[in-house]
Amino acid sequence: MANEKFAGQGKSGASFLSPLEHKWAIYIIPKLPTWLETHHLTLLTIVWSSLILLFSHFAKENIKWLWMVSLMVVMQYVTDHLDGKLGKFRDTGLVRWGFYMDHLLDYVFMCSVLLGYAMILTEKGRYNMLFVLAVFGGYMVNSFLTVAAMGRFKIDLVKFGPTEFRLAIIIINTVLIFFGTKKMNRPLIYIAGGGLICLCIVVYRTQKKIWELDMNPKATATRNTEPSACENDNPLPPA
């Protein structure tokens, strides 16, 4: 059981920023202090998510606190990007625990960001934010079900991965700081609507691939049991 290959152990997919991320991770991983372990980096997402909620609360009175929210997004990116790589570099063996906690806390992080926005938006914007949360939660559910059904974990969508998602959050925060929160209501509808359309496309393509995985062995077995053309020409056994 311990040596059994784990489907979630490897991630497939490459975003626009993947090459740059790979280079700086290779540089920094050997330089991390020995007391800092992979599980420490994973669990730090709880700290960053809690601070996002705190700073978002402060942003209700002073929108400039969103700069601190953006900083927490950057910090979460750094620890989330390095935790698995540090585990592999030091061979800690926390593969299943890392997969479970890493992606569970990714969901916690996403919720903290969206709930933080709900604190500073108008009442109409809060309902729109719930729609956004439901849609993007669907992407995570789809990814985890894909692991069970197909044995692989895909983390990007048309070259748009977790890093680009975090960058989009920072851009949104910057826009809110300079232009205010009232203008955010309508874009949220477009974000949720566009995300829902893309989610439907992803689900359709995923279920089609899973269908093919189910039916290909059946088609092969049918071909193997069918009589050949020569056998059909001579249905009777030789005298």
Q: 171 in helix, strand or coil? A: helix
Phi, psi of 72 (to 5 degrees): -65, -35
pTM of this structure: 0.71
Summarised one tens digit per residue, pLDDT across range 64-117 is 999 999 999 999 989 988 888 888 888 887 888 888 898 889 889 988 998 898
| CATH numbers and ranges of domains, the chain | 7-221 (1.20.120.1760)
Give the pLDDT score at 54.
Answer: 97
- Of 165, 163, 162, 111, the closest CA to residue 133 belongs to 111
Quote the mean pLDDT of the chain.
78
pLDDT of res. 70: 95
Check residue 135 and give its pLDDT.
82
Contact (CB, 8 A) for 7 and 100: no
The pLDDT of residue 55 is 97
Q: Is the dihedral of CA 144, 145, 151, 153 positive or negative?
A: negative
Closest to 39 in 3D by CA, of 92, 78, 76: 92
Name the stretches of the chain with pLDDT < 50: 1-3, 236-239
pLDDT given at position 4: 53
